[in-house]
Amino acid sequence: MKSLAELQALRDCTLDKLNLRKDRKEGIRIVVGMATCGIAAGARPVLEALEREVKAQKLDNVMVMQTGCIGMCRLEPIVEVYEPGKEKITYVHMTADKVSKIVSEHIINGRPVAEYSVGTDKAQSVNDTVFYAKQKRVALRNCGVINPENIDEYIAFDGYQALAKALTEMSREDVIQTVKDSGLRGRGGGGFPTGMKWDFTYKAVGDKKYVCCNADEGDPGAFMDRSVLEGDPHAVIEAMAIAGYAVGADQGYIYIRAEYPIAVERLKIAIGQAREYGLLGKDIFGTGFNFDLDIRLGAGAFVCGEETALLTSIEGNRGEPRPRPPFPAVKGLWGKPTLLNNVETYANIAQIILNGADWFASMGTEKSKGTKVFALGGKINNTGLVEIPMGTTLREIIEEIGGGIPNGKKFKAAQTGGPSGGCIPASLIDTPIDYDSLMAIGSMMGSGGLIVMDEDNCMVDIAKFFLEFTVDESCGKCSPCRIGTKRLLEILTKITDGKGTMEDLDKLENLCYAIKSSALCGLGQTAPNPVLSTLRYFRDEYEAHVKDKKCPAHVCKALAQYKINPEKCKGCSLCARQCPVNAISGEIKSPFVIDQDKCIKCGACQSTCKFGAIDKE
Amino acid sequence: MSIATIPFKGTKEQEEKLREVIKKHTGENGAVIPVLHEAQDIYGYLPIEVQKIISEGLNVPLAEIYGIVTFYTQFSLYPKGEYEVSVCLGTACYVKGSGTIIEKIKERLGIDVGQCTADGKFSLNATRCIGACGLAPVMTVNDAVFGQVTPADLDDIFAKYQA
């Protein structure tokens, strides 16, 4: 690829060839969502059946393609049909069996099959659902639209135009100023202004500089970056090349979790294609600019999401963090100035360069510009991937986009920021989602996992869950994190076992603040957040565990009590025979009772009772 | 039977492959982790014998190699079962009950997390988020992913592999 004209020609040619043009006259395009969730739900046999059927019917004008994440995990596998001049139709919960009907009815006879589509009474597109109405897709613009394994399709959707523009029309300072003016902040969690980071690295003195991408998405419950890499890997590659030009680096590394094999594979394919087209390598667009990329696989260490630990791991060592300053922008990989951004941050860059800083800054709130991708999970109807303008309220996300809580349960809290974040209680459901509002209520944006919890979740148990995670993942380099989090977990376990005292609650809080102020890296400093935020908003639940020895959500096993409902009990004695500690007694044909002192809360009685007479309280 | 006593059964072919991998990465900055990944693909795990070959090949002290292997959870010092069962304990899966699923599997296989059954058939892992939160709770057996698993599904899932 030596010139912009060449890129344009390829773009036009691909639009025609692959039935991608919106105003085209003929040709049908069928796409199958083949990200991890789609494949897990069974998308591969659907894709194969479609390919077979289209071939058998000799439909030369129909293209069957794979694409990345369409976003609605709950409805996978998803197939979408694009016809000229019509709104696309989205088919959900697809199976290979449904394929022949769709091909014969819809593709051949032009009658969309309403019963298989996302619409309730008529066939419709996912774009018409409430789930999509409030979304604005910038980082996810190509996910679920293009085939991620074909660079031509990325180019057809203006791919690599931003790189061409930056290299041929903009100075390095212009690029940095544009990113600064856009107001883009780091999407990995911290929210540091991206343009400033670029500027620091640009100004740092060094004979060699590096550009790195943090794709070590370790927050449990977060899968935004995986979706971008699986659905649109070139967006990251293009942005890293732009960053390389801006800061003066000719080598980049993408550090990605080995747990994401599909994303790794697609990245490898994408890098290979970009090299083949001369979009990576030497003398890009004939400007004399050289840039190349390599992939480094993580090996399952949460701490490697921390920037200094990540760089240490790329260098081939145990991924332990080191104190900052010096910041990576000054002294990073192999001691050289290094720019490090995460996947979603990079995914915004090409759009900012193409559409301008003002366009990007027109979305979002005063201090948080643009959009943010969230992975919506937990107790919510529409689990999936959503991209919303900053400042959207939690209520809009949960009640409208998310479709509310399943089984008529009550919303209790949402957890953002993973093990470094906190809980947002139901009383704060109108909080706008942006960096500063979340920080103010003791949570954080984090990388974008948003886990919804209902009344059946115990908040003490959730805090304990996160601490178990941190204890496991603490790298052990500094003692506040290594020992402190373990002590926190011990106190929490004591409380959930019903052995806690009110004094323990104070101890817990003090220890949290001690760790926050003394741990070495960002992970240690934020590890107490799940405890602090649950203590702040759900102190009554902690007190119920301590004072009343009760778990209000009936989660903590040690505090549960099994009781026999005398009205339902038929006196069959089955439970008494099952009980491993002979805690149940009674006379045949009259209600039995459980001796609470003997009961070990194994639940065997409840699972054997045929009359549903045993309640857990 | 202690898992550590399983004797090393590496073949000549495996060793040749490993030496090729080492050669390919020699002189590269930060080569240890990529080599360990590929070595684990070859042998299935990273016993001390394999670490020694890497240490000599890359001229990196064995202590350092061992330090790296034990730091990262993806690297295993022990062989894995023929079927590697992993249950996701990420937040989304946890709030949807994956804790119960893993308990039931432990009971069923009679092993703890990180162990392998005596016949070498199944090993059990608790994994961090595999990013399929929309399908929570999720478990995997080798490369197959099972979503929205309930304790009642386990009979069917294991039946596929117990033949």
Residue of B nearest to A74 (CA): B134
- For residue B76, the chain A residues in CB contact (below 8 A) are none
For an interface test with A, the pick among B41, B128, B140, B148 (most A C-beta atoms closer than 10 Å) comes out as B128
**Which residues are within 8 A (CB) of A297 and not within 5 positions of it... i.e. 6 or more apart?**
A255, A256, A257, A258, A264, B33, B34, B37
Q: Which of A451, A474, A482 should one mutate to test binding to chain B, selecting the residue with the greatest count of B CBs within 10 A?
A: A451
Give the pLDDT score at A3.
81
Residues of chain B with Cβ-Cβ distance to A297 below 8 Å are 33-34, 37
Closest residue to A316, CB basis, from B33, B94, B131: B33
User: Would you state the pLDDT for residue A34?
Assistant: 92
Which among B37, B92, B145 has the least Cβ separation from residue A451?
B92
- Band of the pLDDT at A47, cuts 50, 70, 90? very high
Which residues of B have a CB under 8 Å from any CB of A? 29-34, 36-37, 64, 67-68, 71-75, 89-92, 94-96, 127-136, 138, 145-147
Strand pairing report for A289-297 and A251-256:
parallel
**pLDDT of B3 above 70:** no
Record: contact B92-A384, CB cut-off 8 A: no
Chain A residues whose beta carbon lies within 8 Å of the beta carbon of residue B68: 316-318
Q: What is the pLDDT of residue B2?
A: 40
The size of the A-B interface in CB pairs under 8 A is 140
What's the pLDDT score for residue A61?
87
Confidence of residue A124 (pLDDT cuts 50, 70, 90): confident
Q: What is the mean pLDDT of residues B109-130?
A: 86
Kindly report, residue by residue over A237-253, the tens digit of the pLDDT.
Answer: 999 999 999 999 999 99
Contact A475 B91 (CB under 8 A): no
Helix (H) or strand (E) holding A177: helix A172-182
The better pLDDT of the pair A168, B89 is held by A168
Q: How many CB atoms lie within 10 A of CB A427?
A: 9
Predicted confidence band of residue A84 (pLDDT cuts 50, 70, 90): confident
The 3-state secondary structure of A11-34 reads HHHHHHHCCCCCCCCCCEEEEEEC
CA distance B155 to chain A (A): 17
B20: CB partners within 8 A, 6+ apart = none
Averaged over A471-495, what is the pLDDT?
96
**What mean pLDDT comes out for the span B48-64?**
96
Determine the Cα–Cα distance for residues A263 and A249; give it in Å rounded to an integer: 25
- Kindly provide the residue ranges of all beta strands, DSSP E only, lying in A210-269, ordered along the sequence: 210-215, 251-256
User: What is the DSSP track for A518-550?
Assistant: H-SSHHHHHTTHHHHHHHHH-HHHHHHHHTS--
| CB nearest to B135's CB, from A37, A385, A453 | A37
Q: What phi, psi does B81 have (nearest 5°)? A: -70, 170
pLDDT at A537 over 90: yes
Rounded Cα distance, A357 and A50, in Å: 42
**Of the partner residues B29, B36, B130, the one whose CB lies closest to the CB of residue A334:** B29
pLDDT digits (tens, 9 = 90+) for A241-286: 999 999 999 999 999 998 888 999 999 999 999 999 999 999 999 9
Q: Are strands A371-378 and A251-256 parallel, antiparallel or unpaired?
A: unpaired
Q: Chain B residues with CB inside 8 Å of A317's CB?
A: 30, 32, 64, 68
Give chain B positions within 8 Å (CB) of A268.
Answer: none
List Cβ neighbours of A352 (8 Å cut-off, separation of 6 or more): A178, A179, A182, A184, A359, A360
Dump pLDDT digits (tens) for A187-220: 988 899 999 999 999 999 999 999 999 999 988 8
Determine whether the interchain pair A223/B131 forms a contact, defined as Cβ–Cβ distance below 8 Å.
Answer: yes
Average of pLDDT values for B130-152?
Answer: 85
Select the residue of A73, A300, A462 nearest B73 (Cβ to Cβ).
A300
Residue in B37, B94, B146 nearest the CB of A465: B94
Above 70 in pLDDT, residue A21? no
Nearest chain A Cα to B35, which residue?
Answer: A316
B40: distance to nearest CA of chain A, Å? 11
A288 to chain B, minimum CA–CA distance in Å? 26
CA distance A65 to chain B (A): 22
Evaluate whether A424 touches A356 at the Cβ level (below 8 Å): no
**How does the average pLDDT of chain A come out, rounded?**
93
Yes or no, beta carbons of B37 and A258 under 8 Å apart = yes
Of B30, B36, B92, the CB nearest to A315: B30
- Inspect the interface and report whether the beta carbons of A314 and B32 lie closer than 8 Å: no
Find the Cα–Cα–Cα–Cα dihedral B79, B83, B84, B85, rounded to 10°. -140
Residue A348, sorted as left (phi over 0), alpha (psi -120 to 50) or beta, turns out to be: alpha
Closest partner CB to B67 (pick from A219, A318, A457): A318
* ipTM value greater than 0.85: no
